[in-house]
Amino acid sequence: MPKISSPTLYLLPLYIMMAVGTIYPIAYSVILSVSYYNLSNLKDAKFVGLENFLFAVGDKNFLESLGNTFVFTLGHLVFGILTGLLLALILNEEFRGKNFFKALCIFLPWSVSPIVNGFVWRYLLNPQYGAINRILLTLGVVKDPVPFLANSTLAMPSMIVAALWKDTPFIALLFWAALRSISPELYESAKIDGAGMFGRFRHISLPQTAVSLLIVAALEMMNGIGVFALVFTLTGGGPGRATSTIFLNAYQTAFYGLDLGYGAAISYIGTGLSLIFGLIYIFFLSPPGIKEA
């Protein structure tokens, strides 16, 4: 009988906990995704293969949530990169009150959990007592309170803004780290050659942050597709299904509709989409060392 080393023996409880808490749920969800398993009709539970996945192709609710997910992801990606790069450029300059700016615009939003972020913005956007409506009314921008989250046109942009408030600081830090690695001599040489602020950004800052840009794009695509906590707390997928996303649809299908099999299949479709962008980053965008590892 092979002798078990002491480190392995000490780690055995951890391995058991990982198996029970991670491996078993994953395996069980895979089984559910290829089964008809509805809690309201357990006697008809059976293996159906890829039927759940094929049903999603023609499911109006799923296709709508898929479209919403890509709209959210695209908006989150584009505006996240623009605002993150702008914040990074500001952080790269020396000015009075820089530490306060970092605390207010970087560390505070980043430290808030997605669920808390959703509740905070739900309060801020409330038409009766929300701070944003109060400001707009005081400044005379609007005459009546704006129902941001109850309007099918405004709900998605509102959700994107809420996500950007929390996620942009991380993007800004990645860009700032790239900017800090650029030699100041390059900027000095460009100034001597007569390059203005835009010229220095275009020919020095932007090329030097290209790798960070690719990393951010891949990560934000995965984060956008996987959004759940924010939409769950902020809009609940409403109004109607205007902000319903893939994983919220999976949750509602499984726990509201009691169809655990189809809900699991939807979640694996979302996971597969996120995995695609992760693989794109690993095999096409990441440095050689990461690929070899």
Question: Strand, coil or helix: what is 164?
Answer: helix
Amino acid at residue number 7? P
* Average pLDDT score over the chain: 85
Predicted local confidence at residue 109, as pLDDT: 86
pLDDT tens-place string over residues 166-203: 999 888 888 888 888 877 777 777 777 777 777 777 77
pLDDT at 51 over 90: yes
pLDDT tens-place string over residues 109-166: 888 888 999 999 999 999 888 899 999 998 888 888 999 999 999 999 999 999 999 9
Question: Strand, coil or helix: what is 50?
Answer: coil
CATH T-level fold of 59-292? MetI-like fold (1.10.3720)
pLDDT tens-place string over residues 198-242: 777 777 777 777 777 888 888 888 889 999 999 999 999 989 899
Predicted local confidence at residue 284, as pLDDT: 65
Predicted local confidence at residue 285, as pLDDT: 59
In DSSP notation, 76-130 reads HHHHHHHHHHHHHHHHTS--TTHHHHHIIIIIHHHHS-HHHHHHHHHHHT-TTT-
The structure's pTM equals 0.86
Q: Please list the alpha-helical segments (H only) found in the chain.
A: 6-18, 24-33, 51-57, 60-91, 98-102, 108-111, 114-124, 131-139, 155-180, 184-192, 197-200, 206-208, 210-225, 229-234, 246-255, 260-280, 288-292
The answer to whether the beta carbons of residues 76 and 226 sit under 8 Å apart is no
Residue 53: pLDDT band with limits 50, 70, 90: very high
User: Which residues, 6 or more positions from 271, have their beta carbon under 8 angstroms from its beta carbon?
Assistant: none
